[in-house]
Structure 1
Amino acid sequence: MRIVIAGGHGKIALRLARLLAARGDTPVGLIRNPDHADDVRAVGAEPVVIDLESATVTELAEKLMGADAAVFAAGAGPGSGAARKETVDRDAAALLADAASLAGVRRYLMVSAISVDEGPAPDAEPVWAAYIRAKKAADDDIRGRSLELDWTILRPGRLTNDEGTGRVWLAPKVERGDVSREDVAAVLVALLDAPTTIGHVLEMVGGNTPIADAVASIGA
Structure 2
Amino acid sequence: MKVFVVGANGQIGKLLVEFLKESADHNVRAMLRKQEQAKEFETKGIETAIASLEGSVEDIASAAKGCDAVVFAAGSGGQTGLDKTLLVDLDGAVKTVEAAEQAGIDRFIMISALQAHNRENWSETIKPYYVAKHYADRALLQSSLNYTIIRPGGLLNEQGTGKIMVAENLGSGTIPRIDVARTILACLNEERTFKKSFDLLSGDTEVAEALKSL
TM-score (norm 2): 0.94
Distance 1:193 1:43, change over 3 A: farther
Residue 77 of structure 1 aligns to a residue whose secondary structure is coil
Counterpart check, 1:137 vs 2:130: no
Cα deviation digits, residues 52-110 of structure 1 (max 9, x gap):
112x2222111111111000001111211111111100111111111111111000000
Task: Tell me the CA shift for residue 144 of structure 1.
Answer: 1.0
What residue number does 2:16 align with?
Answer: 16
Task: Tell me the CA shift for residue 43 of structure 1.
Answer: 5.7
Residue 28 of structure 2 aligns to a residue whose secondary structure is strand
Runs of 4+ in 1 over 2 A off after TM superposition: 38-45, 117-125
Counterpart check, 1:182 vs 2:149: no
Cα deviation digits, residues 128-187 of structure 1 (max 9, x gap):
221111011101111111xx2000000000000100201001111112111011000000
TM-score (norm 1): 0.91
Contact 1:167 1:210 in 2 (8 A): yes
Counterpart check, 1:32 vs 2:28: no
Structure 2: 5+ residue runs without aligned partners? none
What residue number does 2:151 align with?
Answer: 155
Residue 170 of structure 1 aligns to a residue whose secondary structure is strand
Whole-Å separation in 1 of the counterparts to 2:80 and 2:133: 15
Identity of aligned residues (%): 31
Aligned residue-pair number: 213
Whole-Å separation in 1 of the counterparts to 2:122 and 2:165: 28
Contact 1:120 1:132 in 2 (8 A): no
Structure 1: 5+ residue runs without aligned partners? none
Contact 1:61 1:102 in 2 (8 A): yes
> RMSD between aligned alpha carbons?
1.7
